[in-house]
Structure 1
Amino acid sequence: MIVVRDLAGLGEWTAASALYRSVFGYEHPEFGISPRLLAALRENAGTVIGAFDEAGELVGFCYGFCAVEDGELYHYSQAAAVAPGLQGAGVGRKLKQAQAEAARGTGARTMRWTFDPYALRNAHFNFAILGATAIRFLPDYYDDGDSDRLLVSWDLYKPYAIKSEFSVITAPATDRYAAPGAEDRGLLRAKIKSEFASGKRLVGVERQHTADQVGYMFVRDAQ
């Protein structure tokens, strides 16, 4: 029994901040989330949502804010964190669904967020489960030397359906990551950049004929 709802009050905002740092292993204070920021987002069309277990313990959290690009209003989901023992149990989906419902209430038709392009579980969740599409490749997004990201856009009213015509680039993979070796990672990174530079969007990452290889599926028009 997981209950998902808006977080309210300093105690819950502080618990969310602590969960976020714990899940991602952040030790430096600059990587934390201010409870006061969460209070401000909650009062200004942002999302501050938590998932609670049967005992009332906070086991998941997400937050985001309204944004605009070229006149399009969308909701940007900055982060989602789920306690390690419940990852893969559907808590993340419940949080995203609640965030999507809140975003619709602001007039947004899409929601965006970034994720590691080489993390296969995240790719499966974003593409296969939610039906989002990657619209941009952001090399070293956080300027720390190791933070390539994909920017995805999720239509809040209908998932994207993969068309029959698409191109695929392949890479070796473990059970969790694509191109784990430095040389393979560099090659995959260059291929991904090239596909986006040619005007394509990424719509799926799937295992190929062998378990140790994945394919990145691109289409020229993902609308």
Structure 2
Amino acid sequence: MRVSSCPVGETGAVGAVLYGSGMTNEATARTAFAGAQSRAGVTIRTLTDLSELSDARDIFDTVWPSVAGGSQVQANLLRAIVHAGGYASVAYADEVPVAAAFGFCGRHRGADGAWHDLLHSHMAAVLDGFRDRHVGTALKLHQRLWALEQSIPVITWTFDPLVRRNSRLNLLKLGVEVRGYEVDFYGNMDDALNSGDPSDRLFAWWVVGSDRAEQAAHGGLLPLSDLEIESDDRRFVVELPDDIVALRSSDPEAAYRWRLLVRDRLTSAFDEGSVIIGTDSTGNYVLERHRP
């Protein structure tokens, strides 16, 4: 079930044009990516070689180990996706693979009835020892540059609404729009991080050439202060748990209660026309009510 967070049309929830072709050139995106890659201390490469694609597979399996002992995605499937025009990359720190991402090309039907190309980023992962070092941001900005080079205007993906790291990365560092809440989107998942928990996801819509994406890439999107939130009666906060991943292990029942609470608050807010406009200083969602 999808609950939309913004009206149907050619303008997104926070005012960005939905497709945004021609707003950002490749040179500025390349500059933003180069800076992010340098800060993260990694080298990111797109992949075509089967052995390197195996590096990506190993990272996914390390971050999301399967309860049954299988693989999240096989290298031969990644090879087929890349061969068909999709995206795969690995971030290397001194030639050691530490992060990976892959996505496949798709289409979206716009309000005008026409089909528009997009890249759906299905998986992106950073090894534990390299988190909170800007590697994830660099990986996504590499993906953004790749999409611009391929004349693909939009990248989409889903992310767990309970993970604060997700909210900060997607809303502030990338400048995505949240365009829906998907209840139990993937059904039961058998990896050790998600097993036993409903796979609710927010749907991210990233117009890679938009002013908002460019502003985010250069650090221009900041958390909203308490004053900015409290001074506008349309704005309100949906709180998140401090560390949902740890809570799932230590207290699964409490984690499940958080899932239902945030699901109820966000779906109800979206039904009423509210949209996510950013985060507060701790990574909680800040929403704004629609005013007729």
TM range (shorter): 0.7 to 0.9
- Structure (1/2) with the larger helix percentage: 2
Q: Is 1:121 equivalent to 2:165 in the alignment?
A: yes
Structure 1 segment 115-194 matched on structure 2, within 5 A: 115-144=159-188, 146-157=198-209, 158-159=211-212, 166-171=234-239, 173-174=241-242, 176-177=243-244, 181=254, 182-194=256-268
Displacement of 1:37 in angstroms is 1.5
TM-score (norm 2): 0.65
Amino acid at match of 1:48: A
Displacement of 1:31 in angstroms is 5.1
Q: Aligned match of 2:79 in 28, 31, 39?
A: 39
Q: Distance in 1 between matches of 2:278 and 2:81?
A: 32
Unaligned runs of 5+ in 1: none
Displacement of 1:44 in angstroms is 2.0
- Structure (1/2) with the larger strand percentage: 1
Displacement of 1:13 in angstroms is 1.2
Q: Distance in 2 between matches of 1:79 and 1:135?
A: 19
Displacement of 1:216 in angstroms is 3.3
Displacement of 1:27 in angstroms is 4.0
Q: Distance in 2 between matches of 1:177 and 1:60?
A: 21
Unaligned runs of 5+ in 2: 1-40, 110-114, 189-196, 214-220, 248-253
Query: In 2 relative to 1, CA 218–140 (structure 1 residues): closer, same or farther, beyond 3 Å?
Result: farther
Decide whether the 8 Å contact of 2:163 with 2:244 is kept in 1: yes
Q: Is 1:58 equivalent to 2:126 in the alignment?
A: no
Displacement of 1:52 in angstroms is 0.7
Query: In 2 relative to 1, CA 206–102 (structure 1 residues): closer, same or farther, beyond 3 Å?
Result: same
Count of residue pairs the alignment pairs up: 214
Query: In 2 relative to 1, CA 140–3 (structure 1 residues): closer, same or farther, beyond 3 Å?
Result: same
| Identity rate, percent | 23
Q: Is 1:102 equivalent to 2:142 in the alignment?
A: no
Q: Which has the higher contact order (CA 8 A, sep 6+)?
A: 2
TM-score (norm 1): 0.84
Q: Distance in 2 between matches of 1:42 and 1:126?
A: 24
Displacement of 1:83 in angstroms is 1.2
Q: Aligned match of 1:25 in 48, 62, 65?
A: 65
Displacement of 1:47 in angstroms is 0.5
Q: Is 1:77 equivalent to 2:147 in the alignment?
A: no
Q: Distance in 2 between matches of 1:39 and 1:93?
A: 24
Displacement of 1:10 in angstroms is 1.8
Q: Is 1:3 equivalent to 2:43 in the alignment?
A: yes
Displacement of 1:74 in angstroms is 1.5
